Structure 1
Amino acid sequence: MKGTQILLDHMGEREAAALMIDGRLSDLLIEGDAPRPGTIYRAITDRPVAGQGGIFLKTPDGQAYLRGVKGIDAGEHLQVQVTGYAEEGKAIPVSHKLLFKSRYAIITPDAPGINLSRSIRDDDVRDGLLALAHDGMDGCAMGLILRSAAAGADEDAVAEDIAAMRELAEQVTGDTDTGAETLTLGDGPHVLAWRDWIADADVVTEVGCFETHGVLDALDEARGPRVPLGANASMFVETTRALVAVDVNTGADGSFSAGLKANMACARALPAALRVRGLGGQITIDLAPMPKKERKTFEATLRSAFRADDVDTVLAGWTPLGHFELQRKRARLPLSDVLA
């Protein structure tokens, strides 16, 4: 099926959202049991980690870990925000730099000033949005970023979004109570889909739409490691305790260019394969054989593919054995965990 669809449904009792592009599953959000990214706590500092510049904190959902802090003693109260999902047995990752993010507006309490997404280039549009931003933030010392989705949105909707995020930010940052407490929850899958999937799409909300629109079939395929790349090529995406291993194969194609074609297909398909499977951390790609002179072409294609991805991913580079390594934020729960 051609076109883009956003499907909002449930899997059992778990809220879920799926993004289908031309009949293929491009992204998936499923409610898990772990604290949602974006959740803000009033936490209590516990004990520093010597030599690592971090400190453990007590939260209502268990132990959290905050990196890059100095001069904080045990027993202090600190507002922190969940930044991702923890590996099994590890503390919740948090940041002390809070963000209040919606479809059009991001309030930045620690970074004053008004900014627009760099993708908004039309001068008339920028001038109109800046006027809205200055009106909405009048008398407020916090910062505001207007996202790319604001460029084509109704002015009243943008103004309402700015006002809602400002009100929430002022309420949370103005908190003066004590004790560990959840101040605001992160967004669930349906709100995240509205917030972050901004391309024109048909939105389907009927109960059971995952089954009728092919999402469940796509999930059955995603539970396995094999990802077809066309022309008999494929890649296998498999997890170990240490890393995610990606193995690229050319299949029956024995031509001189088979390796390059398979590797380029891998570069284009990898972001969606990782999103749907909810995989992050260290990722190592074992590529099909190709001339060394083609490495820059592969890397440019991979960089372009991840530029369109909304999960922070660092392209670390080549290893002496010719593998390519990445470091990816754990912004999703592993599919194997939520569908266990």
Structure 2
Amino acid sequence: MADKPLLTVRNMSISFSSPDEADIEAVRQVDLSLTPGKTLALVGESGCGKSVTARAVLRLLDKNAIIPSGEILFDTGQGAVDIARLKPDSLAMRSIRGAEISMIFQEPMSSLSPVHTIGDQIDEFIILHERLSPKQARERTVALLDQVGVPGARDRANAYPFELSGGLRQRAMIAMALACTPKLLIADEPTTALDVTTQAQILDLLRQLQDDYGMAMLFITHDLGVVAEVADEIAVMYLGDVVEQGDVYEVFRRPKHPYTQALMNSVPRLSRKADRKRLSPIKGTVPSPRDRPSGCAFTSRCPHAFAPCPAQRPERTQVSAGHVARCHLLAHEPAEALA
């Protein structure tokens, strides 16, 4: 079934332990769902828990990180596997990581080995998962580099990462991620360090590859313009909480959480001169997870905060079909305002 979820994250929390203090909760009771062929954008300011959430799916968290509660259910085609219960170095996890779920990391220069050629690194990946000979793996590598638009793919395979431009390094990283035709691709801000022209090319490439492979994609970004271009659904994170999620057009058209509204208001828009207004930045900064309020995570920066916000965590409220938000204000809106 096309609508059957490929990945279902339920009530997942992530904490980091410290010898000097109590565990620090970085992600709190997250719920996400991805279906084949669709893109879910995970957005929010830096420090909101986006990358930690994505790394949990691949069990690439730091050694002092734990998943104390929740499930990460992945459909392998032979039944659902709870990744949260697998050991990071287990055979079961290693058979999923890279082969069925791959990740494009935020900065290829720090993710690729500087002392091995691009081709050797992709070859090793293919040999590990596909059990091909070195010669067969190299042919696959060249074909992948050519597919993602690397000019002179056979020669570029012998280049080291520092010999390539940022755009070509990102294309090489994409080739590595696609080497085993994964069912799920996690893209962690894949265009952040690129110029506008290269960014557009990478986004077009990802859309084309998604159509070719029919894979699901978890796209992490803080650029709402990119979200509008690539995503089918959106989940807005703040301080480890998913505060609003739903169909991307529905959330953009009717954002209900004050944080989502603030993000939308801080985006510059082209308009007539008479309608131009100053941008409205979000005042303050994201608090440390150590200072997380027991109630709504956005309380300290919310212009609409009132009595229940600091102490009581808001429930998920159904705004419309497939559109939910966590905000005490929604409990006080008339029913027709939510329809």
State the TM-score, normalized to the length of structure 1: 0.24
Would you tell me which structure has more helix in proportion to its own residues? 2
Would you tell me which structure has more strand in proportion to its own residues? 1
State the TM-score, normalized to the length of structure 2: 0.24
